[in-house]
Structure 1
Amino acid sequence: MASEGNALNLEKFYQQAKNKAPENKKFLQRVKKLDPRKVDDVFHDTHDAVFEEIDCLTCANCCKTTSPIFYQTDIERVAKALRMKPGDFIEKYLRVDEDRDYVLQSSPCPFLDNENYCSVYEDRPKACREYPHTDRKKMVQIMDLTYKNTQVCPAVLEMVERLKKIL
């Protein structure tokens, strides 16, 4: 993957993701039709292998460019960690998007520090805990999301490249 020294080269990643986008979209559409158990097994093995090599702290592109959905339990948990009332937390940090979900008002995430650490990591939203969703069950159901994540997460792009050789 596009890394230089310890930090990931995001410009190079964006170019690779853009160049591979049509091919990846087609590939992931075909994966939807495969045996779900086999897809899960291969995805999970590949997920584990890639995350042994890629350290999210060298990138944090997800935190810099996208927002998780904040469910009520997430709002309450993060607000408590920040010693705020949930309503004040919503007012200060969140907005309602076109899908009527609570998301961050801005990016990068206000809880991301300059070394890519999350100041609310122990209390982070469920969507952050599960990102990039490549170790879930029934992966065939989220191939559209996986495709979108190839544009955000270098690890997902790497997984898809490896999966093309396996599936």
Structure 2
Amino acid sequence: MEAIRYYKPDELRQMTANRRQEFSVLFQKLKKKKPKNLDAIVHALHDEAFDQFDCLDCANCCSGISPIVTDKDAERLAKSQKMKTVDFINQYLYVDEDQDYVFQQTPCPFLMGDNYCCVYENRPRACREYPHTDRKRFYQILKLTHKNCEVCPVVYAITDELTKRDW
């Protein structure tokens, strides 16, 4: 895998748009074939990518998208802020069009100027799992992965590497 560099969100959106057809064909193939070794390949690419890329240099995810916040996440975050859950929800969250709690604002209200998260130990599950390139049954999240190419340089790089393989 080539060295992964930081891209601004606008750059990643444009790069992904330029390759939309190519990525769509790849993801359609993977969804149809469900290669048995897909998880192993993606997990190896994930590990290689994160050996060379530091999320603290980027924070595109924290500054540009809002994670789904579960009830458990809200309770944990409220406790960490010494707030009642209902007060935390009222101050920080809203229900989106999919009926999920998400943060009212981006960047994330807990993202600090140095790209550290001031609630890191208590962050939502969606943040813990992002960018989801190390999860099992990767073929199930291909649509999400395609969308995440626009946000995360690592997801873009992994997808780029997948296009180079003969599926």
1:122-161 counterparts in 2 under 5 A? 122-161=121-160
SS at match of 2:32: coil
Amino acid at match of 1:53: Q
Gaps of 5+ in 1: none
Alignment partners' CA distance in 2, 1:22 and 1:76: 41
Q: TM-score, normalised by structure 2?
A: 0.92
Instruction: Give the match for residue 105 of structure 2.
Output: 106
1:5-24 superposed Cα distances (whole Å, 9 cap, x missing partner): xxx24144333222122211
Contact 2:4 2:49 in 1 (8 A): no
Measure, in 1, the Cα distance between the counterparts of 2:139 and 2:7: 30
Distance 1:49 1:2, change over 3 A: closer
Which residue number corresponds to residue 33 of structure 2? 34
Q: Is the 8 A contact 1:36 1:139 kept in 2?
A: no
4+ residue runs over 4 A deviation: none
Distance in 2 separating the partners of 1:162 and 1:130? 21
> Percent same amino acid among aligned pairs?
48
Q: Which residue of 2 aligns with 1:92?
A: 91
SS of the equivalent of 2:164 reads helix
- The number of equivalent residue pairs is 163
**Partner residue of 1:162?**
161
TM-score for the superposition, normalised by structure 1: 0.92
Deviations 1:58-115 (A, max 9, x none): 1110111111111111001011111111011001000000111100111010000111
**Letter of the 1:33 counterpart:** K
Structure 2 spans left out of the alignment, 5+ residues: none
Which amino acid in the other structure matches residue 17 of structure 1? T
Per the TM alignment, residue 2 of structure 1 is displaced from its structure 2 partner at its CA by: 7.0
